[in-house]
Chain A
């Protein structure tokens, strides 16, 4: 079966722009979460969605937002991009908290 799919894989944006990243979870998985990975901070939790509801949000500014659609696909948006937003953004999906969590290949964002 298909894994977690993230698009786009690579993108370059300019400071002040906004970006939208997309994630398609594994079929049947209703929980989708997002993580930011940087060399300095490691992997940090952004938010988690279940059945179109954001259940939990990490300690990130309001410029970071997301949503989940009725087919469980999710998007995250970052507005007013800063250089420090350059990172690998990873999406993960699972059936529930008790099940194995699967990650996508990630979206590499470079802000110049």
Chain B
């Protein structure tokens, strides 16, 4: 059974700092991995999708890496801003039978960027 762990559970940084969020998973036979952010009381917003054949993806100030063999992914946020304050969730995507798939989520990292 796939288990996903995110460390740290909470993080508080001053504005402008670069930071790294960590995600680890127990079963390396993943299909893809996707990072999301969730603002308080809201749905999930997709940030980056990394396919299993890729090592990293970039979008603006965000960079996500994937190391399947070690069961790890990191989300790097450059020059953090107060608007980045949210909970960041890592989801491992497993491919099942007949094209079906399932996301297994970590518990998230709650990020606070202090102005």
Say what secondary structure dominates the interface of chain B. strand
**Contact at B32–A56, with CB atoms within 8 Å?**
no
Say what secondary structure dominates the interface of chain A. strand
- On chain B, the number of residues with a Cβ less than 8 Å from chain A's Cβ atoms is 29
**Contact at B31–A98, with CB atoms within 8 Å?**
yes
- Residue of A48, A55, A102, A105 near B42 (CB, 8 A) is A105
Q: A31–B45 Cα gap in the complex (Å)?
A: 18
- Which A residues between 52 and 82 are near B, CB-CB below 8 angstroms? 55-56, 58
Interface string of A1-32 (1 = CB under 8 A from B): 00010100000000000000000000000010
- On chain A, the number of residues with a Cβ less than 8 Å from chain B's Cβ atoms is 27
**Contact at A55–B49, with CB atoms within 8 Å?**
no
- Which B residues between 61 and 115 are near A, CB-CB below 8 angstroms? 89, 91, 93, 95-108
* Residues of B near any A CB (own CB < 8 A): 31-32, 34, 36, 41-46, 49, 51, 89, 91, 93, 95-108
